Structure 1
């Protein structure tokens, strides 16, 4: 057990405020500083197998299904993911439960003492804290969700037993560049020589395959070594692996390619589920902020879709599940995202847009969305609260409201609704 007594008088909120201002920049890719501190704290290796998941979109939902599948087999599982939506403690799950705030405080205190004059970003400290917490639990497996990129992401100080790349698309171009092949190489930087690797998107850029080949990885790639076979009526599918197959799985609300990646991870770990276990976990596969139903009459969903690729998947879901009435968008995005590309991906699916600015350092005040919505029916509001409330006033019980654009957008709506 962890003894939460070694805390220097700070609450979790105090610690988080303190950590936000301890490094000159918010994002500082590179492993030198975090690796130094990790080695000082013996956090650069894990005593249990580790699955690391990178990609532009689909990381969180892939991690979630891997977690569910492992838990269904009776294993003890720790998951590190980001960003959180409502509560910082969401970043670390132990057997699908959140930890007490005091345990994070002790982790931060130990990191603070160990780092000396080495400055760390908020995400780097968060990553070290997760590793610190995992080492103090009796876990069978750890799942790490990469934050940004892969090769230089803080999570990459750990050598993964299975490394997963879900999808590659343009996002975070200021850090990863505008070339998809280069972005693919960056994200494939979590692969290890002769290590086990999984690729989730059957149409992924060639550089990811090249990276796996150059390293001699034991690769399971969707559309090559493993497959999803959808039934003729589109109501079920089967996973076809090298050694394991699961038939008549229910169609998920989350991307099927991410489910294939999760099952491929179990293949790489040589873990087999029963047919009933596989079906049950796919049927109950869900993740906060991903097509999450908030209410009915009118139907209200929240989704963190924030770039063209995730917006395109949102579009497919809306088309797949039409509603009786009109569909309205409540949207606020970050200024450094491709607002135009996201709007274009959803063209023709909304009767009206209710747009707002985000009170965030990276938030768009609404100007970029206004430009992207040229010629469309929209109303502009100062904040998400106003946009959401006006959408509710306009919507009839048979209508549908989709709230999306950012993790920040989703968090603000959940806060309005009291969690």
Structure 2
């Protein structure tokens, strides 16, 4: 299907254009002969105070940053990212996902990769690109609050899709979309043009979308002509069986914007990630980055690039295998602890991916009040599930249990304390007059 990308742009997205200064920066960088370059307002490299650095890695090896590396990190760079790192991430994306639009003859839908400041930056930038005040946006019924806040800032309205363990309830999805008839042009123009989801280990509730449902969702996207925003921070943390192919891997039209993140793999504080998608849309996301913060953190880019040049793609994938096994062990510990201590007090599903156990407390009506007033007194901090729900006006019995941090023994200990606190709460409730 031929995409009309202009139709998807928000009012703000349609206004995005390249920074006029960046044109001259590019001429200077790409010059094939020596220039007396008096165009850019850059700080002089002679004032760069860092001339080298050495990093000790956990495996005993070292990374050394040269004076040239330090000067790259010191000054302004290309908005897309430093070239060797951008090439590496492009090659990684092609190898892992085999996107059909790679090197497509249609330059608008042709795959583009851009380095950004992490997953949150990617999803919020994509939202601003496509959504305006009053726009409708499809989301999972339990969604990542940061994206929901981005919708609130924009003034867009979320439409929640009911979820099952293997992804959206497709009957409910089709029922929602049936309200828009392509033959009713006025109504068709108001259809939701974006579906945001975390396909693996959904934050908070842990669902992983099956391949069959991904294919059904993509077919719906074609039928009703919407963009899929694939926020896949937990792609490499799929614990059971081979990795499920991504939406990007089936994107023959160029209607998927995929956000990858290093936060859960290499570290969250570096604020580095990458976005893959159709050139027509990513170019405008790049324009926003130009006027927002120029580019992602260059010291992080230089450091990661140095690591990746040592690792190669195979080394990176070996590291993701290590991270997956690390968190899988913790997932198994928390699941067993829940079974040992909370059977009969709560219900939950063991997540196939991600970092969270989504749990319903059977005798607690208001989980937030219970966690703050009862559980926290016993030195356990958990997240109430209500903050992730579409309707936050009513109390919720759900909680989110993160198993990614702290000593392994604390996972079982925390579940035991939660169970004891629920029993004490139940006893108090039974003794209180109604």
What is the TM-score with the length of structure 2 in the denominator? 0.32
Higher relative contact order (CA 8 A, sep 6+): 2
Higher Cα Rg: structure 1 or 2?
Answer: 2
